[in-house]
Amino acid sequence: MSKQINVALIGNPNTGKTSVFNALTGLNQKVGNYPGITVEKKEGVCKLPRGVKAHIIDLPGTYSLNASSLDENVVIELLLNKNDKDFPDLAVVVSDVENLKRNLLLYTQIKDLEIPTILVINMADRMAYKGISLDLEYLETHLKTKIALVSTRKNQGIDRLKTLISNYKDLSISHCINLSEIDPAYFENLQSTFPNQLIYKLWLVITQDVNFGKTDRNEIDAVANFKTKSKNDLKRLQQKETIKRYQFINDVLKKGQTIDVANAKDLRMTFDRIITHKIWGYAIFFVILLTIFQAIYDWSSVPMDFIDSAFASFSEWTKNQLPVGAFTSLLTEGIIPGLGGIVIFIPQIAFLFLFISVLEESGYMSRVVFLMDRIMRRFGLSGKSIVPLISGTACAIPAIMATRNIENWKERLITILVTPFITCSARLPVYLIIISLIIPEGRFIGLSYQALTLMFLYLLGFGTAVFSAYILNKILKIKSKTFFVVEMPNYKLPLLKNVVLTVLEKTKSFVFGAGKIILAISIVLWFLASFGPGKDFNNAEEITKKAYSNQNLTSEELQQKIASHKLEHSFIGITGRAIEPIIRPLGYDWKIGIAIVSSFAAREVFVGTLATIYSVGNDDEDTIKNRMAGEVNPILGGPLFNFASGISLLLFYAFAMQCMSTLAVVKRETNSWKWPVLQLTIMSAFAYVVALIAFQILK
């Protein structure tokens, strides 16, 4: 049996930690949450020499072990708790060759915890470009570790890093500095009181809101000698600690690092002046968005049509191959059409994540955050709020989790409440299918009407979120004042491997997450649509034949009438008819009503639900698009999905909450049911009113 070691990947944000993680683990990785908290946890497996496996945990980015956010607390508590199953046998600190001085602060702190530590100096391919040279032997001696000089872009240094990881027991665990020198009497007292504990661990427990092992803050505070230190005294000691660490780092880098400024080539300032310009910056961002939405439509049309036809053909083939019966009906009318309603959108969702990944990898997204801070401040938010708002284009759940880096409670609460207005990828299937039915395929100055409509919906969601934030800022009487600080990473060409892994991971989680829900709902819907109570359902054939006895219907037309009668009097039909009076003023029939109710589990279920309902009892295995296009409005006649009802439906989904998972996360993040209930009530009412007005005007 091969041995497995725990390796913690630690580093400042924007040091290329994710690239190192991807280079080590490849496809052997998964994403989840830390137990009990909504902080993302990435872990993977790396095969090492001599049959050893490394369980690699990619910890949240942190600048130091002086925590200021929940993400950073996660790092500290793991490093302090030897009883945690993920406690590292080895820490790999990833640094950026251009910001080595700043990155080494975290490295010296981790060394003080006596955990075997390897220093990775990443982005080595930029050394010549920036005029940087390193004396690795000198650095290894004085930093008391082994160093891996890595370039993930050129795939250099990864093999050496794997070798160092497998030989981690040979690493020194001695400290870089003597912490007690900042206040000898205080630390001598502390050590004598707790002789079996590391001095730096004790110091972290005193100064941070964390616990470790059997010794916690209360136990330390109970010792009179340590209660004499006020918060201000502790802050001053922390400042002394930081100064001492930087004195050590400066001394090491004086001889270990040489920077030839004259040979450094840097176009960054020129690019920044253009990209963050108060006029051109917004224009460039707008053009990028337009290009993204146009590409989503143009590039994905062929694979989408293929998938749509393939599922229709597969359903037809399955029906012909299997004997007539309930199981065949479940497969061909429930499961296959339901899954087809989500798989068809894989190309467009993958392209959306592709573009988002490229923007983040290139360093452009940080400029967008800086740029949008100018707007956000006017609406009671900070530039930090734009990170969750942009993340919301993928999914509101991790976006709301991302608000944890907003220190100010009022700004964080407002961001949580307005983020669900942002168009997430779950809305995308609804938008795409409705837009394809009601918006013509013409072009305006080279841009398709459909792409422009999609972009309008994204901008509408963002605009509504910002306007709602403005109102909430006026209503919520919470006094606050914060300052916005954002790091501008260097521009770099996106790493193909990182982009591909991100697209695969995000698309897979979207499809499998939605797929489980859709599969379950498709089975339930098929049952509810295939069975019903009373004589109206059981005697459908007899009733239908009698009703149409005076009309010369073909056998096929008669079967369609029977199927329609059965569906109307099935369990789902009765439920739909019950809610139809509420949604009829919006231009919807009972089938759309069922789709709206079922999509509360997840918005993307809407299309799969309609695909299942339209398939039950229907021998014509047509594509999802054609089935929806062929539906007739029972009240007004003509297509059910016409311009008026289509716009009404688009606006309803643009504003409605329609996501119980998001509500659960909002409850968890605000620690109260008050905010999610208000959120659900107000957003649903607003969506209904806007959809009602739109349909009544346009019909």
Nearest in space to 77 (alpha carbons), one of 37, 118, 46: 37
Give the tens place of pLDDT for each residue, 15-34: 888 889 988 888 666 554 43
Band (pLDDT 50/70/90 cuts) for residue 512 is confident
Question: CA 38, CA 402: separation in Å to the nearest integer?
Answer: 9
- The whole-number pLDDT of residue 591 equals 82
Distances (CA, A) of 288 to 93, 281, 602: 35, 11, 29
Sheet of 117-122: strand order equals 29-33, 40-47, 53-58, 4-11, 90-96, 117-122, 146-149
119 phi, psi to nearest 5 deg: -100, 120
Counting other chains too, the contacts that 36-42 makes at CB distance below 8 Å and 24 or more residues apart are 37/70, 37/74, 38/401, 38/665, 38/668, 38/669, 39/70, 39/71, 39/74, 39/401, 39/404, 40/398, 40/401
Q: What phi-psi label fits residue 51: left (phi over 0), alpha (psi between -120 and 50 degrees) or beta?
A: left
- Residue 31 has what pLDDT? 54
- CB-CB neighbours of 248 under 10 Å: 18
Q: Report pLDDT for 634.
A: 66
Per-residue pLDDT, 251: 93
56 pLDDT tier (thresholds 50, 70, 90): very high
* Per-residue pLDDT at 484: 55
Which uninterrupted H or E stretch holds 94? strand 90-96
Location of structure tokens 């709301």: 400
pLDDT value at 327 more than 50: yes
Backbone angles phi, psi at 118, to 5 degrees: -110, 140
Q: What is the largest CA-CA distance in the chain?
A: 105
pLDDT tens digits, 189-238:
888 888 888 888 888 888 876 555 555 555 555 554 454 567 788 888 88
Residue 697: in which H helix or E strand, if any?
Answer: helix 674-698
Work out the pLDDT band at 7, boundaries 50, 70, 90: very high
Cross-strand bridge partners of residue 95? 121
Range from 35-44, 244-253, 538-547 that averages highest in pLDDT: 244-253
Summarize the confidence of residues 336-353 as an average pLDDT: 76
Q: Cα 567 to chain center, whole Å?
A: 39
Paired residues of 31 in beta bridges: 42
The rounded distance, in Å, linking the Cα atoms of 353 and 498 is 12
- Mean pLDDT, rounded, of the chain: 80
The 8-class DSSP code of residue 27 comes to T
Residue 11, judged by CB atoms within 10 A of its CB (0-12, 13-18, 19+), counts as buried
What is the crossing angle of helices 643-655 and 449-475, to 10°? 40
Q: What is the pLDDT of residue 33?
A: 42
646-695: pLDDT as tens digits: 999 999 999 998 777 778 778 877 878 899 899 999 999 999 999 999 99
Do residues 127 and 260 touch, judged by C-beta distance below 8 A?
Answer: no
pLDDT band at 518 (very low <50, low <70, confident <90, very high): low
- For 148-194, how does the pLDDT look when each residue is reduced to its tens digit (9 = 90+)? 999 888 888 999 999 999 988 999 889 888 888 888 888 888 888 88
DSSP code of residue 632: B
Q: Which residue has the higher pLDDT, 57 or 521?
A: 57
Report pLDDT for 227: 47
4 forms beta bridges with 53
Where does residue 154 rank: exposed (0-12), middle (13-18), buried (19+ CB within 10 A)?
exposed
In 3D space, the residue among 642, 591, 641, 588 whose CA is nearest the CA of residue 613 turns out to be 591
83, 146, 138: which is closest to 117 by C-alpha? 146
Under DSSP, is residue 9 helix (H, G, I), strand (E, B) or coil? strand
**For residue 564, what pLDDT band results from cuts at 50, 70 and 90?**
confident
- More confident site: 630 or 279: 279
Closest CA to 198 of 79, 31, 340, 334: 79
Q: Mean pLDDT over residues 250-270, rounded?
A: 76
Q: Which residues contact 300 (CB under 8 A, 6 or more apart)?
A: 347, 348, 351
Cβ(358)–Cβ(493) under 8 Å? no
pLDDT > 70: what percent of the chain? Answer: 85
What domains can be seen in the chain, in order of their start residue?
Answer: 4-170 (3.40.50.300), 179-263 (no CATH)
Return the structure tokens found at 352: 């959306």
Q: What is the mean pLDDT of residues 440-459?
A: 84
Q: Based on C-alpha coordinates, what's the Rg of the chain?
A: 30
Instruction: Take residue 549 and report the two structure tokens written for it.
Output: 């006895």
Q: Are 379 and 353 in contact (CB under 8 A)?
A: no
DSSP type of residue 379: G
Q: What span, in angstroms and rounded, lies between the C-alpha atoms of 71 and 61?
A: 8
- Of 207-221, 503-517, 542-556, 627-641, the poorest mean pLDDT is in 207-221
Q: pLDDT (tens digit, 9 = 90+) per residue, 65-113? A: 886 666 677 788 888 888 888 899 999 999 988 889 999 999 999 999 9
Rounded-to-5 percentages of helix, strand, coil across the chain: 65, 10, 25
Q: So what's the pLDDT on residue 513?
A: 65
pLDDT at 143 over 90: yes
Query: Which two structure tokens, joined as six digits, stand for 280?
Result: 């051109």
